[in-house]
Amino acid sequence: MSERNPIELFRKVYDAAVATGMRDPNAMCLATIDPDGGPSTRMVLLKEFDERGFVFYTNLESRKGVAIRSNPNVALTFYWRELQRQVHVRGVAQPVSDAEADAYFATRPRGSQLGAWASLQSRPLKSRMALLLEVARIEGRHLGGAIPRSPVWSGFRVVPHAIEFWKAGAFRLHDRRLFERIEGGWRETRLYP
């Protein structure tokens, strides 16, 4: 895996992770900075990636949504135990287009579409019953018909400016390759483990 392009290298590693049959190879830890300057993290699912960046979907009014609105600098970490590999990404979260979000929302299971409308993600919930009643209410509104995307549910593309590949080595002599974006391409640096 000696690519000079970190996105192509990421694709190889990611494909290898998928090929292991592991659960949720697309799970990644997303770190954001809250409006008060404090960090927060949570897992999200990578839904697409290419030269432009790494895409995930969420509720725009969730804690992470609010954080990104006030500070779009984010970091991602992938860990694939089966491969003994880790990837870090640092970048800027940019909203995906409405058309892109609509297209992805349309592929989601109906239950997930209803959930996207019903969940005021990250805000206090009185009881689980209140959530289930809300799902039922929204289902009643759309009986049989297509469910449009909620205006507060969309995606972000993390446009990377640094991507680091970590591979476990014997005696903790791990292999670390850092790619940093420079004019017209990427600069690669090896790091001590």
Ligand X SMILES: Cc1cc2nc3c(=O)[nH]c(=O)nc-3n(C[C@H](O)[C@H](O)[C@H](O)COP(=O)(O)O)c2cc1C
Contacts with ligand X by CB under 6 A lie at: 24, 27, 40, 42-45, 56-59, 62-64, 121-122
Q: d(Cα 122, Cα 141) in Å, to the nearest integer?
A: 24
Q: Catalytic: which of 69, 85, 137, 172?
A: 172
Q: How far is the CB of 158 from ligand X (least distance, A)?
A: 13
Q: How far is the CB of 186 from ligand X (least distance, A)?
A: 27
Q: How far is the CB of 146 from ligand X (least distance, A)?
A: 22
Write out the DSSP string of 103-145: HHHHHS-HHHHHHHHH--TTS--S-HHHHHHHHHHHHHHTTTS
- Residue 172 falls in the annotated catalytic set: yes
For ligand X, the closer CB: 110 or 187: 110
Straight-line distance from the first to the last Cα atom of the chain, in angstroms, rounded to the nearest whole number: 18
Q: d(Cα 29, Cα 3) in Å, to the nearest integer?
A: 24
The catalytic site residues sit at: 172
